[in-house]
Amino acid sequence: MDYKEISRIFYRDGYRLAHQHLEKEVSVQNLTAAIRQLYDSVDDLLDSFIQRSALDGRPAECKKGCSWCCHQVVYAVTHEFLYLHDHLQKNFKEEIRNRILARARENVLLTRQKSQEEELQVSTPCPFLESGSCMVYSVRPMACRIYLSSSESACKKEHDETDTGNDFPDLFEFPLRAGRMLNEGFVAYLKQIGFQVSEDALDQGYSTLVTLGRTMEGWIESHSISP
């Protein structure tokens, strides 16, 4: 499998997807539709990959209720934070949103004095994890979607031994690479038309966004170049 060519293909696909939705007008509606299609494309790709892997004798062991990977640092990009925040505002009561925010802030306090390497060794539950399930599964970031393992026991071991410095637990390379490059191509177009895009740990990025009152509308208004 030529991973360099795969990277180029999916990078172009991500760039093209953003271009198709935002070329004529940069609006909340169009940006939201672009992000939704980006995620749908990855989900469809993963469904096909999972079926093929099962036929090849190496099935994915990720399933509902398994949350070993939901206790590690996850990084997301600006458009993902805003999309997630918009979903929470529309679908969750203030009491629940405040509970999520409090958990995110607690996690930030645990890691703010640590280097990135030390931060990656901290095991804390994701603020969106409740009773073993993701509260925002349909709008979870790309990094969560493409984290696909062939061994639940390896994931548990990684969760229990975060300070060992081991590699990621039996993850499938193809979805990791495809999803990452789709997102990078998507971001490349956003930057080209003037958006300020950054990447941050999920806890830090989300808590900062809420604290500063950032919205997708405000982000769109601040971008400086018309396509």
Position 113 in a domain: yes
Which pLDDT tens digits describe the chain residue by residue (227 residues)?
677 888 999 999 999 999 999 999 999 999 999 999 999 999 999 999 999 999 999 999 888 788 888 998 899 999 999 999 999 999 999 999 999 999 999 999 988 777 767 776 778 999 999 988 999 999 999 999 999 999 888 888 887 775 555 555 789 999 999 999 999 999 999 999 999 999 999 999 999 999 999 999 999 998 865 54
Position 223 in a domain: no
Position 227 in a domain: no
Position 175 in a domain: yes
Position 226 in a domain: no
SS3 of 137-180: HHHCCHHHHCCCECCHHHHHHHHHCCCCCCCCCCECHHHHHHHH
Alpha carbon distance 33, 27 (integer Å): 10
Domain count, the chain: 1
Q: What is the pTM of this model?
A: 0.91
Position 123 in a domain: yes
- Whether 201 and 118 have beta carbons less than 8 Å apart is answered as no
Boundaries of domain holding 55: 3-218
Position 163 in a domain: yes
